[in-house]
Amino acid sequence: MKAVGVVVEYNPFHNGHQYHIQQSKTKTGADVVVAVMSGHFLQRGEPALVDKWYRTKMALLSGVDIVIELPYVFATSKAEQFAKGAIQLLSAMKCESFAFGSEDGNIEPFKNTLSLLHDFRTEYNELIKYYVSQGNSYPKSLFEAYEQLKQKRPQLYIDLAQPNNILGYHYIEAAYLLNSSINPVTIQRIQAGFHDDIQSDTTIASATGIRKALFENGELSDVLQYVPRYTYEQLQDWLQNYQQFANWEAFWPLLRFTIIRYIPKDLTQFADVSEGIEYAIVKYAKVSDSFTDFMNHIKSKRYTWTRLQRMLTHILTGITKEQLHRFSSPTYIRLLGMTSKGQQYLSEKKSEFDLPLISRVASTKDELLQIDLRATEIYSQGIQFISNKKIDGDYKTPPIRI
């Protein structure tokens, strides 16, 4: 059996994701789709809308065959580490290819960009340092350095201002650096951009737009046309059980309590906290009544919203710098769910996997897994705070079978 891998968050799974799954199978001729999915905290540094098991069900009911978890230390890292962990897992599961969304659906510009940045790596790094020294944010410095470097070798390159292109580039780079035989494939995104609001004249919307509609309007029916039926049913079920969806506003009292337990110096032990920002975090946590108010106080040109959210995620979960950077590679494959076809693939290929497949967490004391278990417990505490009901944790929840 042939497998194509996808790297996802499904926050939530929507019609665009379903299109991506269908096109990935068509373009690669794969028998099964393997999704490596972030757990309860995501790459932009925020809690997931619903828990990882609800999101697993959405995926399995809508075309994915196997869902595995991207460990917390990769799922909440910058794009390079996020991509590296994901591609290592898909390679370990013997996926022949991986497919990602991009703006124009052409793989050649990605390969050209990879060649350019690796051939001129030293000069690229010097340009980045220069633009940072001029007061630009790190992401802005990366973009400016790249734009200047493109003049050296006129070719067709990707637009690194687009979030999906950035991740796609790092997926391809990770496969190259790992010397993996996994083949990259890109699928053109349709209709909705990464951060676009929902539009009434289409059935495709970004996950960001869907979440915004849910939190601003509060009506689940507002997103009905943008998600598969199974996603809508899972979202309905979540609301019946837990009253509201998770986001930083909902988790703010828990985060605020966590922050003000510390003096500023103590916060510097946590991953991504640096350069004096700890004083502002403690100061404004004490006086801000909402997460948005707090973020508007501490955000600056130097600290992007995403960078700050990652810091806060690590403070909330108690993940230190040493813990986040101790692991350069995943040490296991954590199975969250499978269809019957996915189970057939696992039975056929499991003996060839490069990493152990974990379906029951009680069977291992792996250090990397312990961090995932902690993240689930913290997320569960947040859900209990807003709904007075905890989610079933990692020890109680077996892999979902569809």
Q: Is 12 annotated as a binding residue?
A: yes
Q: Which of 232, 313, 277, 296 is nearest to 47 (CA)?
A: 313
Q: Which of 48, 49, 103 is nearest to 70 (CA)?
A: 48
- Cβ atoms within 10 Å of 345's Cβ, excluding its own: 24
Q: Is 13 annotated as a binding residue?
A: yes
Q: What is the CA radius of gyration of the chain?
A: 21
Q: Which residue has the tokens 């890292």?
A: 77
Q: Is 144 annotated as a binding residue?
A: no
CA 172-350-338 angle, to 5 degrees, is: 80
Q: Is 337 annotated as a binding residue?
A: no
CB-CB contact of 185 with 99 (8 Å):
yes
Q: Is 16 annotated as a binding residue?
A: yes
Q: Is 14 annotated as a binding residue?
A: yes
Q: Is 273 annotated as a binding residue?
A: no
Q: Is 15 annotated as a binding residue?
A: yes
CB-CB contact of 5 with 93 (8 Å):
yes
> Could you tell me which residues come within 8 angstroms of residue 13 by beta carbon, excluding any fewer than 6 positions away?
55, 58, 59, 62, 227, 228, 231
Q: Is 101 annotated as a binding residue?
A: yes
Q: Is 189 annotated as a binding residue?
A: yes
Q: Is 20 annotated as a binding residue?
A: yes
CB-CB contact of 97 with 185 (8 Å):
yes
Q: Is 9 annotated as a binding residue?
A: yes
Binding site members: 7-20, 101, 164, 189-190
Binding site members for ATP: 7-20, 101, 164, 189-190
